[in-house]
Amino acid sequence: MKNMISILAALVGLVAVSSWWARPAPLAEATPTPLRAMHTTGTAVIRVQPDKATVRLGVQTFAAAPRESQAKNARIVEQVLKAIRGEGVPAQDIATDYFAIRPEQDYKQYGERSIVGYWTENAVVVTLRDVGKLSDVLTTALEAGATTVDDVTFSTTRLRELRDQAREMAVKAALEKAQALAGAVNLSVGDVQNISENSWSYYYGMWNSRGQWTANAQQNVVQIAPSSGAPQPDDGQFSLGQIVVQAQVDLEAALE
């Protein structure tokens, strides 16, 4: 019986070894074809005249007593606001930006000091939805008693539209560049694998010594979008700058 069991075990081992040697060799894994791709960038710049302006107008008054200084300031501010509204600026586009009363001190010898009066400062921010009124509003406000003009800024109400337009133009420029490069080596552009963009805008101009806004004439411009109703840069009163809207796109596409 023991001999029979030994013979059976030997036969099973022999069959197992024969089966292992008979197994086909594993197939080598196919090496994937490397993806051929290219990277290009596209940039678009749109220059447009501003159609909106904001200006900060201030009134400063001085008097011996704080109440007197404040009352004097309030009278002048009311005159200034009335004059601005007379230029067609609605009340909702005029807002108080800053108000303060501070003492004026006289510093004497040995650290002694005394209050000689009080300054009252009041500033309003005026939004102009017609930039053609800027010169008249500034002149009228100063004639009515405004003592300072600060923070004149220009913008456009079409910023979202212009950003979308610049982005679309930048994508088109990147694709055209990719097609030109691929064609130079007898290839074609396949599916876009990755795309990213960066957009920004800024005002391009400066306030000169004569109190006029001027724009640098050198611009990298691919499109000029005129603002309807905006005065021309040489209107004789002040020179408008430019709102520059720029978009840059990085694009990666397959090569076929």
Strands 37-48 and 223-224: what pairing?
parallel
**30-60 tens-digit pLDDT:** 555 556 889 999 999 999 999 999 999 999 9
**96-130 tens-digit pLDDT:** 999 999 999 887 766 677 889 999 999 999 999 99
Averaged pLDDT for residues 221-234: 38
> pLDDT higher for 235 or 153?
153
Cβ distance 154 to 55 under 8 Å?
no
- Count of residues in the chain: 256
Complete domains list, the chain, with CATH: 37-50+158-255 (3.30.110.170), 52-107+115-155 (3.30.70.2970)
Residue 256 has pLDDT above 50, yes or no: yes
Q: How far apart are CA 204 and CA 233, in angstroms?
A: 13
HSE, CB side, 13 Å, CA atoms: give it for residue 127. 13
- Min mean pLDDT across 89-98, 183-192, 207-216 is at 207-216
At residue 208 the predicted structure's pLDDT band, cuts being 50, 70 and 90, is very low
Residue 215 has pLDDT above 70, yes or no: no
At residue 201 the predicted structure's pLDDT band, cuts being 50, 70 and 90, is confident
Give the CA distances from residue 236 to residues 61, 122, 171, 183, 239, in Å, rounded to whole numbers and listed in that order: 33, 31, 39, 51, 8
Token readout for 56 is: 């900060």
In SS3 terms, 123-162 reads as: EEEEEECCHHHHHHHHHHHHHHCCCEEEEEEEECCCHHHH
At residue 217 the predicted structure's pLDDT band, cuts being 50, 70 and 90, is very low
Give CB contacts under 8 A, 24+ apart, made by 210-219.
Answer: 211/238, 212/238, 212/239, 213/152, 213/154, 213/238, 213/239, 213/240, 213/241, 214/239, 214/241, 215/239, 215/240, 215/241, 215/242, 219/45, 219/47, 219/244
